Amino acid sequence: MADLKIAPSILSADFARLGEEVAAIDKAGCDYIHIDVMDGHFVPNLTMGPPVIKALRGCSDKPFDVHLMIDPAAPYLADYADAGADIITVHAEADIHLHRNLQVIRGLGKKAGVSINPSTPAAAVAPVLDDVDLILVMSVNPGFGGQSYISSVTPKIAEIKAMIGDRPVELEVDGGVKPDNVAEVAAAGANVVVAGSAVFHGNDYAATIGALRDAAGG
């Protein structure tokens, strides 16, 4: 799949050199910079907030793909928009007013995304298909990098792809995606893949990004 977009997750980057790491994956040919925001409540980890994203904004012109694994998300949407997010994704399992959050994100001039956890059925995104620019399917339980891909998610990717139909909605998959399984993910219908440890734990970011694209097209 020649048009597969690669979104390295900086959760797996060297935090002591985060700005350099963002610049490096930009130079290596990534399409998006995937930024995982965790609150220690909705998921069992704490990561970065708006000040860190704002500090990184000057390190790359690539779209900042900000995945909010926080509950509630509503009070912070404007903060992440102001910090430089281009895509803001909220979880269907968080907050209680999903439509409102998506409307707020678009009202802030950003692309709106919705994410679902591995155990959440595809039907959870059906009510908002016309309100999103991106659907993010988690293929690991969110909270930590370096987990293995949950293969039972693959049919759900295909189901959501069919639900999207001809809508201009991107389908992104996050969790355990590597060159040896990316073809399965792409064949199911994903056009964006998040790769954290697969990219950052290697010595040649460009080679790994290229390998992901090549494997998806094979």
Is 174 an active-site residue? yes
Q: 31, 36, 39, 95: which is the annotated catalytic residue?
A: 36
Using alpha carbons only, how large is the chain's radius of gyration in Å?
16
Q: 31, 65, 133, 174: which is the annotated catalytic residue?
A: 174
The distance of Cα 13 from the centroid of its chain, to the nearest Å, equals 15
Q: Which helix (H) or strand (E) holds 27?
A: helix 18-27
Omega cis (within 30) before 72: yes
d(CA 110, CA 85): 7
Angle at CA of residue 25, ends 23 and 27, nearest 5°? 70
d(CA 143, CA 180): 23
Burial (0-12, 13-18, 19+ Cβ within 10 Å), 166: exposed
Across 61-75, b (16+ Cβ under 10 Å) vs e yields ebbbbbbbbbbbbbe
d(CA 201, CA 46): 21
d(CA 199, CA 206): 9
Q: Which residues are catalytic?
A: 36, 174
